[in-house]
Amino acid sequence: MATDENGKAGANEAGANEAGTGEAGHKEDGAPKADGGDKADGSGGGGADEGDAGDSKPSPLSKPWVRIALAVAAVAALILLVWWIVNYRNYGRYQQSTNDAYLAADQINVAPRVAGYVEQVLVGDNQMVRAGQLLARIDQRTENSTAARSRAQIAQARATVAQARATRTQQFDMIRQARAQADQSRAMLRQNEAADRFNASQVARYAPLSAVGAETDEKLAQNRSMLDQSHAQVASARAQLAASDAQVASARHQIAIDDAQIQSGLAQVAASQAQLAANQVDVDAAAVTSPIGGRVGDRTVRVGQYVQVGTRMMTVVPVDRLYLVANFKETQIGLMRVGQSATVEVDALAGEEIHGVVESFSPGTGSRFAQVPIDNATGNFTKIVQRVAVRIRLDAGPEARRVLVPGLSVSVSVDTRGARRDKVATKDEGDRLEDGRKRQDRHELDADRRQRKPGAGR
């Protein structure tokens, strides 16, 4: 057995030598053999020994200072983690931030109240103006002529009133004169009636006497003539009295007419005065003034331009009364209240923070005030987080306000820590309502059981 194994081993070694010799022969045929190949092999063996020596170097963790540094770093990381958790629970989770915010102002579009050609433009682009300052002037000759015509109408109406009052006074004089004549006519009528009665009695007395011849016929004829005269005088006195009464009635009627003319004239005076006041308003409106103080922007009016009523001439922006409109998500306003402080970062003032205060909340989300409100009752529904506009007052200094203008983009963060108690109160309120509903349900169940339970003898 040993002899066979030795023989096989020798045969294998001989084959290996022959194979090596053959490979060497091929190499020699293809390229000249490099001198010093044995040396190269020797040097290669030396490199392997050095690699083994390198693998046997000690680990860095075996050094004390490395372990100390790692321990310090782990402790520092743990401290930072604990600090972050505490800060988040006490501060960070109550900070609601958004960059969907912009500066705004209650700007006023300046427009004329009368139509006409622009005579003067007294302000320039981006100029600061004060409230009541004259901005432009419109040609007011038409308004002046209309006002002059109204003044003439007032004078004419006043003259009519004065004439009616004079006529009324004259009619009162006529009434007094007619009453005096009427009194005189009544006295004459009474006198004539008395004479008429006397003459009638004389005729009645002398007629029988004349018939028997006791008195002459001439005496009777004379009495009858006097009776006819007294009849005529009584009729004339009555006619004069009637004429005087008619004159009084006519004068009173004329007085009523004069009173009506006076009232009509006074009404014309009042109407003309109202028209004059309206014309004066138009005259004053030809001078276009600034309703508020601020900075002029978007000035489109030019001298000689014809403007209609309501045409926008320029815009006055109150840059000293800016505020912030931030559109927070509906999931962010749960603890947001009026009066909470806010931190504002304006892109135009990089690195600077401005303090603000929450002033008010919009009464609805932005979609409620859109031109075409959303109707989720039709079609497919996809829930989208809505946003609510929050108005924030800015407490910026004079230097910052030199840069701040409406429309600038900002980032805002609101501190809602002040409403933590409200959150607890809301939760307690919900728990109380839930307990109340449960008690109500139990009460209803008990009542239902009592109604269904059979009584004695059933």
Beta-bridge partners for 96:
414
- What is the percentage of the chain residues whose pLDDT exceeds 70? 82
Confidence of residue 32 (pLDDT cuts 50, 70, 90): very low
- What is the percentage of the chain residues whose pLDDT exceeds 90? 28
The mean pLDDT of 275-302, rounded to a whole number, is 89
Confidence of residue 325 (pLDDT cuts 50, 70, 90): very high
Concatenating the DSSP letter of every residue in 164-216 gives HHHHHHHHHHHHHHHHHHHHHHHHHHHHHHHHHHHHHHHHHHHHHHHHHTSS-
Confidence of residue 161 (pLDDT cuts 50, 70, 90): confident
- Distance, CA of 415 to CA of 338 (rounded, Å): 11
Give residue 37's pLDDT. Answer: 39
Question: E-strand spans in 366-408?
Answer: 387-395
- Distance, CA of 189 to CA of 237 (rounded, Å): 5
**pLDDT tens by residue, 81-133:** 998 888 777 777 888 999 999 999 999 999 999 899 999 999 999 999 999 99
Q: Which one has a higher pLDDT value, 156 or 191? A: 156
**pLDDT tens by residue, 330-360:** 999 988 999 999 999 998 888 788 999 999 9
Helix (H, G, I), strand (E, B) or coil at 373: coil
Q: Note if the pTM is more than 0.75.
A: no
Give residue 293's pLDDT. Answer: 92
The mean pLDDT of 8-37, rounded to a whole number, is 40
Q: Output the six-digit token pair for 151.
A: 């003044």
The mean pLDDT of 256-269, rounded to a whole number, is 82
The mean pLDDT of 16-25, rounded to a whole number, is 40
Classify the C-alpha dihedral 288-291-296-297 as positive or negative: negative
State the first-to-last Cα distance of the chain, in angstroms, to the nearest integer: 113
